[in-house]
Amino acid sequence: MRLVVCLLLALVAFERPAVAQEKSAQEKSAQEKAAQEKAAQDGAAQDEAKPGFAYTVRFEGMADTRELAGLVRDSSALASKAGDPPPSRAGLRRRADDDLARFESAARSLGYYDAQFGYAIRPSEQPGEPSTVVVTADPGRLYRIAEIEIRAVDDRSPAIGVELSRRRLGIEIGGPARAADIVAADAAIPRMLHERGHPLAASGERTVLIDHDSKQMTVIFRVDPGPAARFGDVTVSGAESVDRNYALRRLPWRYGDTADVRLIERGRRQLAATGVYESVGVRFGEKVGADGLLPVQVILTERPPRSIGAGVSASTSEGPGANAFWTHRNLFGGAERVDVNGRVSQVEASLTSELRLPDVLYTNQDFIVSGGLIGEETDSFDSQKVRVGGRFERRVNDIWSVDYGAVLERSRIDDDGTESQYTLVGLPVGTTIDTSDDLLNPTEGGRTQLRFTPYLESLGSTISFYSMTARHSQYVALDKDGDLVLAGRAAVGSIIGASTTNIPADHRLYAGGSGSVRGYGLQKIGPLDAADDPIGGRSLVEVGAELRWRVYGDFGIVPFIDGGQVYDAETPDLGQELQWAAGLGFRYFTPIGPIRADFAVPINRRDSDDRFQVYFSLGQAF
């Protein structure tokens, strides 16, 4: 027994050092692992903090060639990546070497075919300061075009047979030998042939010969003119519910006319402008027949015939408002359109409708029958009116239209406590020239509207007068993307033949409000009565300008200034000061137009004017 106890004690004494040694080894391994992880983290931190081989760039030798200097800088990785320096001097040299090839390509594109570029890396004289990469350039002489030839695609092909305008090529003998201009000219040649009865013309391989001794270039363009062609049969697909002949009448050529791609493009625009089709495709066929006729394919996708929608608006002078509409674009199968509109606000409640019948008497001349019930409650007057009318609207071309017709109105008007009834017969005539690029958010072009309406003593009317207005808006994009647009407008109006008090209050001229001079209440500009309510007048002047700036994404701001005046006389008194207002607008751009919020204050405020006005609506102010 004593022997067993001794053996056990000896075994325990033997095991303890082994366990202690095992624990010590584990602790040592854990410490080493922690030390390795800490070293790795310290190394990563040092790598992240490592600044790289910092440098700046300077370009020399291009002071006399500003266009080349600008193109070299724009194509330079040294310049664009200066904020992301390479890890070493060797990396910087690789970046600079890559730049040299880009610089030579840029120089050749501008006609400097002997340009030479080099660089040097100069260390900083001060410790810690970046090095400087000095790029040197020797542009050499500008190469010029000595000769321009236009030949058939190969020597065995027949001559082109069509005199082409050298002016439209965009290059000329003696001009700079720019690569981009030559490529553009190569594309312009088939286009000119497409307009001259060769719709299947295509470019061939062009030849450029450079004489380094004389610093000149000879350019040989080759083209396959294809056969001469005339407009042949037209096939229309996709016209399911709209009469096929309606689409055919929109096409601006006749069977057998010389094939001209411009007429194809014009036909596509005219079909798209009808609003009946979701998509429009118009193109030539692939082969000219033995009779010289080339078929045309018209591919249409119709829009759903019915639409319904609604909108809201609000302002401090006019209060909240809501409107709704219903439209049918193909009422009887011939693209007849009917529109029904309703509006309710603090100053107006109306229900109007319009039926448009296309191609009446002439193609591109519509006859419009309209009618409506209109009630207005303003500080100037209260009125209830029934109006019916008919007019012709003729589209002369893509930008110009004229209209003429007749309108009959029966109204009851409360003007400063005096109620009167009127029957008016008008013969409105107008013209519109619209070169703008968008209905609700134009960035280029302009709009001009001229209107003249004589109101005659007939059909029970006991008064006559003549109303004339002229309005123009202009839009200028200040950048290539249209994110910065300068917009301006002007309007002038006059009513002759009757005194202000004899003209029905709802036909007098007014200014002020959301669509007029912002910053003033509705119709508040011009003569006022003893209660500071507007009277209206017989002549009007309005001007306005705003800078539309899409600042970020779909958000924009619009600083603006408006001015206007209403006069009791038949012609504006230019010696009388305009009422001016200025403000700031905010825009949120949507696919259907910008949502508008404008805040405006009057500059030369009268005692009766509010200190500010706020407006909310869809679309730009003008």
Domain span at residue 498? 380-618
Q: Are 384 and 479 contained in the same domain?
A: yes
335-392, pLDDT tens digit by residue? 999 999 999 999 999 999 999 999 999 999 999 999 999 999 999 999 999 999 999 9
487 with 610, same domain: the answer is yes
514 exposure class (CB count in 10 Å sphere: 0-12, 13-18, 19+): buried
Residues 203 and 292 in one domain: no
pLDDT at 409: 95
Q: Examine the domain organization and report whether 410 and 538 are in the same domain.
A: yes
Could you report the per-residue pLDDT of 238-259, keeping only the tens digit for each?
988 999 999 999 999 999 999 9
pTM: 0.75
Same domain, 67 and 121: yes
Per-residue H/E/C for 272-328: HHCCCEEEEEEEECCCCCCCCEEEEEEEEEECCCEEEEEEEEEECCCCCEEEEEEEE
530 and 576 together in one domain: yes
Closest CA to 119 of 59, 193, 188, 56: 59
Q: What percent of the chain has pLDDT above 90? A: 78
Average pLDDT over residues 221-248: 93
Of 524, 505, 528, nearest to 516 (Cα)? 524
13 inside domain: no
Average pLDDT, the chain: 89
508: in domain:
yes
Give a yes or no: residue 26 inside a domain: no
Nearest Cα neighbor of 579 from 510, 512, 507 is 512
Query: Of 37-46, 87-96, 154-163, which range is least confident?
Result: 37-46
Integer angstrom CA distances of residue 341 from 336, 373, 401:
17, 11, 24
HSE value, Cβ hemisphere, 13 Å, CA-based, for 184: 13
CATH number for the domain that contains residue 247? 3.10.20.310
Amino acid (1-letter code) at residue 304: P
- Confirm whether 4 is domain-assigned: no
Report in angstroms the alpha-carbon separations of 142 from 60, 111, 118, 179: 18, 6, 19, 12
Q: Give yes or no: residues 472 and 572 share one domain.
A: yes
Residues 586 and 451 in one domain: yes
Tell me: do 64 and 209 sit in the same domain: no
Instruction: Give tens-digit pLDDT for 578-591.
Output: 999 999 999 999 98
On whether both 454 and 548 belong to a single domain, the answer is yes
Q: How far is CA 52 from CA 57, 92, 97, 131, 540, in A?
A: 16, 10, 18, 11, 68
Beta carbons within 8 Å of 235's beta carbon, 6+ residues apart: 295, 296, 297, 298
The answer on pLDDT for 166 being more than 80 is no
CA 260 to chain centre: 28
Domain count, the chain: 4
